[in-house]
Amino acid sequence: MSDRPTFPSEMDPMRLLSEMRMPMLDVQALADAQRRNLEALSAANRVALEGAQAVARRHMEILQQSMAEMTDAVRGASTPSTPQDQAAKQAEMVKASYEKAVTNMKELADLIQKSNSEALTVLNKRFSEAMDEVRGLVAKKEG
């Protein structure tokens, strides 16, 4: 079975292109290039989706960890102590929470950047290949 999509005969792009009788156009090469373009786009989308899923998983882990830490902090704050001790504990808790939030945001941003970079690499590679194909087709027709 062919992995080429089926079209009604009057709309088949391969038939339409071949009927144009353009001697300079290699219809099969054009179709193959378009297939490779779509494969690269699909691969880039897959990489981006996997990256988004990794970010979502990590974000959920961070939320769960934050909830556990907040529960522990509330328990710790409920122990009897002087107002000065309470204020010192709260200040330390705020500082630690802020530092943790910044670290978590940086980690998520790094995951997103890595995913975007990988997807862009796939597309850039295919673009470079496509330009090489065009140069090859032009050289073939000139020779």
12-54: pLDDT as tens digits: 666 665 665 555 667 788 788 889 999 999 999 999 999 999 9
Is residue 6 assigned to a domain?
no
Is residue 12 assigned to a domain?
no
Quick check: 3 pLDDT over 60?
no
Q: H or E segment at 118?
A: helix 83-142
Is residue 37 assigned to a domain?
yes
Among 5-9, 60-64, 92-96, 98-102, whose mean pLDDT is lowest? 5-9
Residue-wise pLDDT for 91-135, tens only, equals 888 899 899 999 999 999 999 999 999 999 999 999 999 998 888
Per-residue three-class SS string for 20-82: CCCCCCCHHHHHHHHHHHHHHHHHHHHHHHHHHHHHHHHHHHHHHHHHHHHHHHHHHHCCCCC
CA–CA dist 18, 117 (Å, integer) = 39
Is residue 16 assigned to a domain?
no
Is residue 4 assigned to a domain?
no
| Domain span at 104 | 25-142
CA dihedral 55, 57, 62, 65 (to 10 degrees): -170
* Overall domain count for the chain: 1
